[in-house]
Structure 1
Amino acid sequence: MKLAIIGASGFVGSAILEEALSRGITVKAIVRHPEKIQTKNPQLNVVKGDALNEDELVDLVKDQDAVISAYNAGWDNPDILTEQTAANHTILDAIRRSGVKRFLAVGGAGSLEVAPGVQLLDTPDFPEQFKGGAIATRDMLVLLKKDTELDWTFLCPPISLDPGERTGNYREGKNQVVFDAKGHSHISVKDYAVAMIDELQNNKHIKERFTVAY
């Protein structure tokens, strides 16, 4: 399998990259700063790419079997809402033009429900500094639900996505935040990556949003 990962050098993208390579998948890592990826692997091709340049993205992904977007405009970027929202449209339009059908997106916990009809993003305690990025990530889900061309999957992390070890274990949910017996909603970024590549290989959630947690 040939897989393109947009944003493969970030916290989540780098974990997905390592998990994909560990399973023998050929990866094209599309990043703004190729020098940030130090991994050396014969199955890895690191290329410079701009998530806001549609024509460039079409050329970069057109020979791939699937695309995963882990793009993030930067949590400390004051323009994250504008840039991330623009990138959502550019990435989806580029993939449609490329002819690639399988698309998986790194979602956000903000769009998950904590009560019927109440999304985490809309609760009073949701951190203000993360709202812009969370709104933009939710926008990607809205766009995907309207899509008629792609075999898409939107994988939301739990409330807490942590550094930590790979256990290979996780529980799945659909539209609600998944909590453990102690009331925590968390997973390591490595196990989130396990779930993402499991979905890539098993295709259990085509045209669906789902979430994972311990």
Structure 2
Amino acid sequence: MKIVIIGASGYVGSALLAEALARGHQVTALVGHPEKLAANPNLAALKTDVLDTATLVTQLRGHEAVISAFSGHAQTEVYNYYVQGIRSIIDATKEAAVPRLLVVGGAASLEVAPGVQLLDTPEFPAQWKETAAGAREALNILRTETHLDWSFLSPSAYLEPGERTGKFRLGGDQLLVDAAGKSHISLQDYAVAMIDELEKPAHSRKRFTVGY
């Protein structure tokens, strides 16, 4: 498929890029520093600014799907930047007539008990709250979207480099935990789950999650 990955040089984006290229997809990587990406015959790297919606439309046009690994971690106003960015990405995807948008979400909006999200628990780390709140708002925005075919993949609580096993569970709005009570997924297996969704859509206009 001919796809776009926004933020393809980032923490999650780099894993998505590796998985997509390994499966033979033709990828346009939209990043802040294209020179950081290794050359690949199936890769075109372009510099982008997600807040420049008009330019983003041009960069997205002609693709079959957009995967957004956009993050506001490095910004001073993380929440506002994240929300502005996701709105721009949604608008540009629709304007460019790209049929699908897949979004890297956070675990914080998953429920740990009926009606209680991880973000709202006392144990949630303060340093990640703005980013997590931005990701939650992105999901809220997508849930009001009536025209775009979107999917939002939340990882487990711990998303760390590890093995590509291809063996994991998928869920809905509840945090997944393993037999030992740990909620985790490797970056590599998260990428497998996302590219699986790209290739065989099963969560249209839904949030889903992945974990061991």
The interval holding the TM-score normalised by the smaller chain is: over 0.9
Return the alpha-carbon distance in structure 2 between the equivalents of residues 21 and 150 of structure 1. Answer: 25
Return the alpha-carbon distance in structure 2 between the equivalents of residues 172 and 115 of structure 1. Answer: 18
CA contact (8 A) 1:65 1:100 kept: yes
Match of 2:138 among 134, 137, 140: 140
Provide the identity percentage.
52
Q: Map 1:59-78 to 2 at 5 A.
A: 59-74=58-73, 76-78=74-76
CA contact (8 A) 1:101 1:149 kept: no
> Given the two structures, how large is their TM-score scaled by the length of structure 2?
0.98
Paired position in structure 2 for 1:43: 42
> How far is 1:149 from its partner?
1.1
In structure 1, stretches of 5+ residues that fail to align are none
Q: Report the more deviating stretch, 143-152 or 77-86.
A: 77-86
Paired position in structure 2 for 1:102: 100
Return the alpha-carbon distance in structure 1 between the equivalents of residues 23 and 131 of structure 2. Answer: 31
Paired position in structure 2 for 1:155: 153
Return the alpha-carbon distance in structure 2 between the equivalents of residues 37 and 168 of structure 1. Answer: 25
Return the alpha-carbon distance in structure 2 between the equivalents of residues 50 and 149 of structure 1. Answer: 24
Paired position in structure 2 for 1:202: 200
Return the alpha-carbon distance in structure 2 between the equivalents of residues 196 and 96 of structure 1. Answer: 20
3-state secondary structure, aligned to 2:50: coil
**How many residues are matched?**
212
Counterpart of 2:37, as a letter, is I
> Given the two structures, how large is their TM-score scaled by the length of structure 1?
0.97
> How far is 1:78 from its partner?
2.7
Q: State whether structure 2 residue 57 is matched by structure 1 residue 31.
A: no
Return the alpha-carbon distance in structure 1 between the equivalents of residues 86 and 143 of structure 2. Answer: 13
C-alpha RMSD of the superposition: 0.8
List 4+ stretches of structure 1 deviating above 2 A: none
